[in-house]
Amino acid sequence: MIQPLPGGGRGWFRALIAMLATLVLALAGPARAADEPRLALVIVNGAYAAFDKLGSTYTDGDRVATALNATGFIDASGTGPVQVRRDLTREAMGQAVAQFRAQLAAAGPKAFGTLYFSGHGAALGSYGDVMLLPVDAGRDLTPESATLTRAALTHHLLGSGARTMLIVLDMCRNVLPAPPPSLTQMIAAETGTEASAVGELAGSKGLRRMVRAPAAAIRPDQGYLVAFSTSADQVAFDDGVFSKILAEEIRRPQQTIADALKRVSDRVALSSGKNFQKPTFDYGLQGAPPCFISCDRAASDRFYDCANCPWMRAIPAGITPFGSPQSEPGRDGDETVQADVKIDRPFAIGVYEVTIAEWNGCVRDNACPKLGNWSKENPNPLIPASDISYEDAQAFLAWLTVQSGRAYRLPSEQEWEYASRAGAATAFPWGDDIGPSMANYDHTARYRGSETAPYRGYPEAVNGYPANAFGLNQMQGNMWEWTAGCTDMSCKGRIMRGGSFESAPNALRSANRFTVPPGKRRQDAGLRVVRDLDQDEIGGSS
């Protein structure tokens, strides 16, 4: 948790999440325990013999155990409140995991299991997995070590038949020597992969998506989420920040475990502590993920592709009004006369504008510039990233593409207007009038005699106003959003859409266009991302 050991190269996090199905009705956590048995194993190791001793890890465990108890979990032993197991040896850790697996199996096919570990961890540089270190661990691997890797634990605990496994690893990934060849078959057996696949991962470091074994013991409705307190090739600090935020999000209602972990990741990245870390995760969630407290049914069909990726929503193919009628108040000369345009193929678009927490992940990797932002005044992870030029946006999209393994881009003008209108031919998605309660703009200005309000002069959280009919928030106002459109063949002028918190209300009309040089940065300029859908994702969106 304190300092990484030398060695190994960067391994990029690549993961994919299936679209979330309709979520279950909102019910309190303890009330759900009867139909969704919840068991948790909490292990905290601090008194190491061969590694630095850790001081905050015991508090980490107490916080998380208290939060889990408040949301209906019982201890891994099968009875009583969740207990914190401290300073376990390899033998004791193995026994605790075995007991946990047995109790999950006894709980039945609807069980929800959570394993939280706080302590030192090691990146196994030979095949991309990571290992939990018991207090008696040395700096050389032994065959017994393979049973305490992330992949082995996930496969082993899913073998209990539990419907969902959440594994939270609050630890560094210090690089230990590569496992000897004699471990290859054991690693393959424990993780459910082919022996040749273990070898193919040589030279990687950090998170790798678990390869599921075709064993009948793994049901198609089972899923897992493995969360790390830091990103690949980065340090997790012994300061308690991650566990504090995790415990708070476990207790927050109206979110699934996927929602909760993304909020944890974003909040930790924006925490005011002196140490920067960006949590990330690997997952294979199936169907509707469980909720700690209650679920938000309005969020049932949004998804994300990686821990640093924005929330996305699939938009079906269709026909949209494009441009404005010549009679529309505020119409500019560069707007086309309104006519129907066909969007031939479904696509995914950000539910929100890119947030400062998501942008900071790119800054941390030295792939994006550190820009002025409004989070200094409001340290909310949902404050939009700002001061972004078209060229900055392209850098973020390139980084996001590497992070996710999916090709992200800016929307075309047609896609943006289609997503903004959500079927409406009126000036705004909600009609031909506008008022201060509908969007974040310069509320002192009028549009067709609209009401006014004091000028706010700052961006609000990206979910600060109601979503449109496509479930997209703040397509109008808050931040100007870059598109792929340009005004000439050489693209010396790039098109932004949507208006901002500084704009007069007529700028928020769905057809309005704003030309800006691609290198120009504005304090009210942000972006919303798009990616094409794969063929197997289109079924429910066409």
The DSSP annotation for 508-536 comes to GSTT--EEE-TT---TTEE---EEEPPHH
For residue 339, what are the β-bridge partners? 322
Place of tokens 């946006």: 393
Quick one: pLDDT at residue 125? 56
Region of 292 (left: φ > 0; alpha: ψ -120 to 50; beta: rest) is alpha
Amino acid sitting at position 93: M
Q: Quick one: which of 459, 481, 463 has its CA closest to 471? A: 463
What is residue 186's predicted lDDT score, i.e. its pLDDT?
55
Which is it for the CA torsion 424, 428, 434, 437, positive or negative? positive
Q: Which pLDDT value is given to residue 13?
A: 25
Measure the CA–CA gap between 375 and 370, rounded to whole angstroms. 13
Q: What is the mean pLDDT of residues 384-410?
A: 94
Q: pLDDT band at residue 379, thresholds of 50, 70 and 90?
A: low
Q: Which pair of structure tokens corresponds to residue 110?
A: 């609807």
Find where tokens 């082993």 sit.
Answer: 156
pLDDT of 396 over the 90 cut: yes
375 band by pLDDT with thresholds 50, 70 and 90: low
- Lowest model confidence (mean pLDDT) among 87-96, 231-240, 242-251, 413-422: 231-240
SS3 285: coil
What average pLDDT does this structure show over 272-283? 73
Q: What is the pLDDT of residue 101?
A: 97
Pairing of β 164-170 and β 129-132: unpaired
Q: What CA–CA distance (Å, rounded) separates 176 from 116? A: 22
Q: Report residue 16's pLDDT band, with 50, 70 and 90 as the boundaries.
A: very low
Alpha carbons 412 and 369: distance in angstroms, whole number: 24
Residue range 481-496: mean pLDDT, rounded: 94
Q: Find the length of the chain.
A: 542
Centroid of chain to Cα 141: 32
CA distance 396 to 309: 11
What domains does the chain contain, in order, with CATH numbers? 38-196+203-285 (3.40.50.1460), 302-537 (3.90.1580.10)
pTM: 0.77
Section 216-240 average pLDDT: 72
- Which phi and psi angles does 269 have, rounded to 5°? -65, -25
Beta-carbon neighbour count of residue 6 at 10 Å?
Answer: 7
Asked whether the predicted pLDDT for residue 230 surpasses 90, the reply is no
Which H or E run contains 66? Answer: helix 57-70
> What gap in Å lies between CA 320 and CA 318, rounded to an integer?
7
DSSP assignment of 425-450, as one string?
-SSBTTBS---TTT--S-TTS-SSS-
What is the rounded average pLDDT of the residues 360-373?
A: 85
Higher pLDDT pick, 540 / 488: 488
Reduced 3-state DSSP string for 28-74: CHHHHCCCCCEEEEEEECCCCCCCCCCCCHHHHHHHHHHHHHHCCCE
Mean pLDDT across 306-317: 91
**200 vs 41, which has greater pLDDT?**
41
Q: What tokens does 317 get?
A: 């193919």
pLDDT at 157: 93
Task: Decide if 191 contacts 210 (C-beta within 8 A).
Answer: yes
Residues β-bridged to residue 336: none
pLDDT > 80? residue 141 = no
Give DSSP secondary structure letters for 79-120. SSS--EEES--HHHHHHHHHHHHHHHHHH-TT-EEEEEEES-
Comparing 210-219, 272-281, 487-496, which segment has the lowest mean pLDDT? 210-219
Residue 83 has pLDDT above 60, yes or no: yes
In whole angstroms, give the CA distance from residue 541 to residue 313: 10
Structure letter (DSSP) for residue 209: P
Mean pLDDT of 204-230: 57
Using the predicted structure, report yes or no on whether residue 180 has a pLDDT greater than 50. Answer: no
- Weakest mean pLDDT among 124-138, 319-333, 342-356: 124-138
Alpha helices by DSSP H, 353-478: 356-364, 390-404, 413-421
Element (H, E) at 57: helix 57-70
- What's the pLDDT score for residue 239? 73
Task: Categorize the per-residue pLDDT at 335 as very low, low, confident or very high, splitting at 50, 70 and 90.
Answer: very high
Provide the pLDDT confidence category of residue 175 given band limits of 50, 70 and 90: low
- Lowest-confidence range among 174-178, 232-236, 280-284, 448-452? 174-178
Query: What span, in angstroms and rounded, lies between the C-alpha atoms of 14 and 101?
Result: 28
Contacts (Cβ under 8 Å, ≥6 apart) of 274: none
CB-based contacts of 95: which residues, under 8 Å, 6+ apart?
none
Q: What is the average pLDDT across 333-340?
A: 94
Q: Give the bridge partners for 1, in sequence order.
A: none
| Mean pLDDT for the chain overall | 82
Average pLDDT, integer, range 203-224: 48
Write the CA distances from 343 to 319, 424, 474, integer angstroms: 6, 15, 21
Tell me, rounded to whole angstroms, the distance of Cα 31 from its chain centroid: 28
Give the model's confidence band at 409: pLDDT under 50 very low, under 70 low, under 90 confident, else very high: very high
Dist. CA 33–CA 419, nearest whole Å: 40
DSSP E strand boundaries for 218-285:
223-228, 280-283
Most confident of 260-274, 363-377, 475-489: 475-489
pLDDT confidence bin for 77, thresholds 50/70/90: very high
pLDDT, residue 433, reads 96
Q: What is the average per-residue pLDDT within 510-521? A: 96
**Strands 164-170 and 223-228, bridge-based pairing:** parallel
For residues 106 and 63, what is the distance between their CA atoms, to the nearest angstrom? 27
Would you state the pLDDT for residue 3? 29
Span between the terminal Cα atoms of the chain, in Å: 47
Q: At 217, list the tokens.
A: 């013991």
Mean pLDDT for 23-36 is 44
The Cα–Cα gap between 46 and 56 comes to 8
Check pLDDT > 70 for residue 10.
no
Q: Is the pLDDT of residue 427 over 70?
A: yes
Single-letter residue type at 382 = L
Share of the chain above pLDDT 90, in %: 56
Report pLDDT digits (tens) over 287-306: 778 999 998 877 778 888 88
Given this model, what pLDDT does residue 18 score?
31
pLDDT at 202 over 50: no
Q: How far is CA 116 from CA 31, 128, 178, 340, 445, in A?
A: 23, 21, 26, 53, 52
* Model pLDDT, residue 115: 98
Give one word for 471, left, alpha or beta, with left for phi > 0 and alpha for psi -120 to 50.
left
pLDDT level of residue 78 (50, 70, 90 thresholds): very high
What is residue 1's predicted lDDT score, i.e. its pLDDT? 41
pLDDT, position 23: 28
Mean pLDDT, range 466-486, rounded to an integer = 96
pLDDT band at 285 (very low <50, low <70, confident <90, very high): confident
DSSP 176-208: EPPPPGGGHHHHHHHHT--HHHHHHTTT--S--
Name the pLDDT band for 449 (thresholds 50, 70, 90).
very high
Is 60 exceeded by the pLDDT of residue 179? no
